[in-house]
């Protein structure tokens, strides 16, 4: 075991982060070569005059980052430069392939260590309550309150008794749709939409109809005509950082949709999983039409997808109905997970994660503008994903295939189109899909080369 003496300023805050930074620095500088066994947490804590938990959090952050590995009973060791370590467990199966098809963003391992979260709540005297009872299907009061607090940051102020805890946004959307529509009912969406909602429609035997979009999002006149002629049950949409186009509806557009929905008594289902990204969020549709809107968000994009906690805000009169679907399908969502999310929300970890994600998204967006800017629309928004319109003479399928031949995976527009409508010539490129920015940039460079060189001649059809 090494006698490691990290340099940590006595006034550094938070201490565990300063210690993590010192560890990272010393590993990179070779002061701690691969294979070195680090001091025990107790030993280092005593020498530095800090709590054992502080050292534990620093080591946990380093472990998540792939800098060290902990082995039960043996200690914590500095890892060697194995291929793929930096990319972490979520990286592509094939290290040659740069997969930009997943809508996610890695998280900062220095913030929100799961190990320290579990340690923190481990000492709570009321922990057994989370396990020993069937809690209400809407979720526990504290978790609903934390949900109300979380959605406030997206500009939605609601009482906690309108909040329903779900197992992520996908489950939230399925639950809301099951509470509203019966087999055969028509649900409207944007012309290109989140693929998950197509899966839900298929599961619940609902019909979907995609409505046209312009530069500001869903066109109100098209929505009104559909409400008038087709008697839809609901409109599912993503007003902020739409998936896949990354567009955000301006306020006037939101107001117009809210007015039409109220006039025709059509439910609005607003999926706002990316609503934490803009610095100044616009009012959600649910704030404009509270009597017939359902707001859905989750901790997946803002914190961590494995947490599986979602928040649905339902109209007051429909909360029981939504809770009934949860009861019928799973009784209630495991309260322990909602407790973990609540802990992060209450104690600021969630805010820190969001701050990091915004910063990281900005940096990745800037890289995308630098590398692909020539081919992107002027106001391409800062988002986890880009919508890349393909210039003449590219066809989407051709571009996706030739990108794949250069070991880059992007999503064709067809994946997002509703029904058999024709798809725009475009692909979705996820900026958060790789663990490192360098790898993202490499993938984007390969796409830029491809756009530059144009499609390879094809003999198909002869
Ligand atoms: C628009 C949208 N809604 C919902 C989800 C699913 O979120 P969750 O992981 O919370 O189920 C995603 C995931 O990609 C998404 O892009």
Q: Are strands 267-271 and 234-237 parallel, antiparallel or unpaired?
A: parallel
Question: Is pLDDT above 60 for 91?
Answer: no
* 139-163 mean pLDDT: 97
CA distance 382 to 368: 10
Question: Is pLDDT above 50 for 199?
Answer: yes
Residue nearest to atom 7 of ligand 1 (CA): 169
Question: Is pLDDT above 90 for 149?
Answer: yes
393 upstream amide cis, omega within 30 of 0: yes
- Which pLDDT does position 82 carry in this prediction? 46
Percent of the chain scoring above 70 in pLDDT: 95
The answer to whether 1 touches 77, Cβ cutoff 8 Å, is: no
Q: What is the pLDDT of residues 251-264, one digit of tens each?
A: 999 999 999 999 99
What atom in ligand 1 is closest to the CA of residue 171? 11
Question: Is pLDDT above 90 for 139?
Answer: yes
Q: What is the pLDDT of residues 435-454, one digit of tens each?
A: 889 999 999 999 999 999 99
Ligand 1 in reach of 305 Cβ (< 6 A):
yes
Average pLDDT, the chain: 91
Residue nearest to atom 13 of ligand 1 (CA): 103
Ligand 1 in reach of 103 Cβ (< 6 A):
yes
Task: Give kind and range of the element (H or E) at residue 408.
Answer: strand 408-409
SS3 content of the chain, % helix, strand, coil (to 5): 45, 15, 40
Q: What is the pLDDT of residues 361-386, one digit of tens each?
A: 999 999 999 999 999 998 889 999 99
- Pocket probe for ligand 1: among 172, 241, 273, 308, the residue whose CB has the most ligand atoms within 8 Å is 273
Local confidence band at 459 (pLDDT 50, 70, 90 cut-offs): low
What atom in ligand 1 is closest to the CA of residue 243? 1
User: Between residues 113 and 233, which one has the greater pLDDT?
Assistant: 233
CA distance 189 to 211: 6
Q: What torsion do the CA atoms of 162, 171, 142, 269 make, to the nearest 10 degrees?
A: -20
Q: How far is the CA of 273 from the centre of ligand 1 (A)?
A: 6
Residue nearest to atom 14 of ligand 1 (CA): 103
The answer to whether 247 touches 120, Cβ cutoff 8 Å, is: no
Residue 241: CB atoms within 10 A of its CB come to 23
- Which pLDDT does position 93 carry in this prediction? 54
Local confidence band at 241 (pLDDT 50, 70, 90 cut-offs): very high
The answer to whether 428 touches 385, Cβ cutoff 8 Å, is: yes
Local confidence band at 1 (pLDDT 50, 70, 90 cut-offs): low
Q: What is the pLDDT of residues 414-430, one digit of tens each?
A: 999 998 889 999 999 99
User: Between residues 181 and 11, which one has the greater pLDDT?
Assistant: 181
Ligand 1 in reach of 169 Cβ (< 6 A):
yes
Local confidence band at 458 (pLDDT 50, 70, 90 cut-offs): low
Question: Is pLDDT above 70 for 88?
Answer: no
Local confidence band at 73 (pLDDT 50, 70, 90 cut-offs): confident
- Pocket probe for ligand 1: among 169, 312, 411, the residue whose CB has the most ligand atoms within 8 Å is 169
In the chain, what are the domains?
Answer: 1-82 (1.10.10.10), 127-347 (3.40.640.10), 350-453 (3.90.1150.10)
Local confidence band at 92 (pLDDT 50, 70, 90 cut-offs): very low
CA distance 1 to 100: 41
- Segment among 31-45, 59-73, 315-329 with least mean pLDDT: 59-73
Query: Which structure tokens are listed for 246?
Result: 């990354």
Ligand 1 in reach of 192 Cβ (< 6 A):
no
Global pTM reads 0.81
* 77-81 mean pLDDT: 74
- Segment among 51-65, 299-313, 384-398 with least mean pLDDT: 51-65
- Which pLDDT does position 99 carry in this prediction? 95
What atom in ligand 1 is closest to the CA of residue 173? 4
- Which pLDDT does position 81 carry in this prediction? 56
Ligand 1 in reach of 270 Cβ (< 6 A):
no
Q: What is the pLDDT of residues 111-133, one digit of tens each?
A: 788 888 999 899 888 899 999 88
Q: How far is the CA of 429 from the centre of ligand 1 (A)?
A: 16
- Which pLDDT does position 112 carry in this prediction? 80
């Amino acid at each position: 075991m090494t006698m490691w003496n990290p340099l940590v300023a006595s006034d550094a805050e938070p201490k565990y982060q300063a210690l993590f930074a010192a560890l990272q620095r010393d590993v990179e500088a070779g002061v701690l070569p691969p294979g070195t066994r680090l001091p025990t947490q107790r030993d280092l804590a005593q020498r530095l005059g800090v709590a054992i938990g502080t050292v534990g959090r620093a080591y946990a952050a380093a472990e998540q980052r792939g800098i060290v590995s902990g082995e039960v009973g043996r200690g914590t060791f500095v890892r060697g430069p194995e291929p793929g370590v930096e990319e972490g467990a979520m990286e592509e199966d094939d290290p040659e392939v740069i997969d930009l098809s997943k809508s996610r963003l890695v998280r900062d391992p220095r913030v929100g260590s799961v190990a320290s979260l579990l340690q923190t709540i481990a000492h709570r005297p009321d922990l057994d309550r989370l396990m020993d009872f069937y809690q209400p299907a809407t979720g526990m009061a504290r978790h609903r309150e934390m949900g109300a607090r979380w959605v406030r940051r997206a500009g939605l102020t609601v009482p906690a008794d309108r909040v329903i805890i779900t197992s992520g946004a996908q489950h939230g959307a399925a639950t809301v749709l099951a509470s509203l529509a019966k087999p055969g009912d028509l649900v409207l969406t944007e012309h290109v939409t989140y693929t998950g909602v197509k899966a839900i429609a298929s599961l619940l035997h609902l019909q979907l109809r995609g409505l046209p979009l312009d530069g500001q999002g869903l066109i109100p006149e098209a929505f009104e005509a559909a409400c008038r002629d087709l008697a839809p049950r609901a409109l599912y949409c993503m007003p902020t950082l739409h998936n896949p186009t990354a567009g955000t509806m301006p306020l006037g557009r939101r107001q117009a949709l809210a007015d039409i929905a109220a006039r025709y008594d059509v439910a609005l289902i607003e999926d706002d999983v990316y609503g934490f990204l803009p610095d100044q969020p616009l009012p959600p549709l649910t704030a404009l039409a509270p009597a017939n809107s359902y707001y859905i968000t989750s901790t997946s994009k803002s914190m961590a997808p494995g947490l599986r906690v979602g928040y649905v805000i339902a109209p007051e009169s429909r909360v029981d109905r939504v809770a009934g679907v949860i009861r019928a399908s799973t009784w209630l969502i495991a309260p322990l997970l909602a407790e973990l999310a609540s802990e992060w929300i209450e104690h600021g970890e969630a805010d820190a994660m969001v701050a990091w994600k915004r910063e990281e998204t900005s940096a990745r967006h800037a890289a995308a503008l630098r590398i692909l800017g020539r081919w992107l629309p002027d106001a391409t928004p800062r988002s986890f994903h880009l919508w890349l319109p393909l210039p003449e003479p590219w066809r989407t399928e051709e571009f996706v295939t030739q990108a794949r031949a250069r070991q880059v995976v992007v999503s064709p527009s067809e994946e997002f189109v509703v029904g058999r409508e024709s798809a725009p010539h475009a692909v979705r490129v996820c900026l958060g899909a790789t663990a490192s920015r360098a790898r993202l940039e490499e993938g984007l460079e390969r796409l830029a080369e491809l756009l530059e060189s144009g499609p390879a001649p094809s003999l198909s059809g002869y």
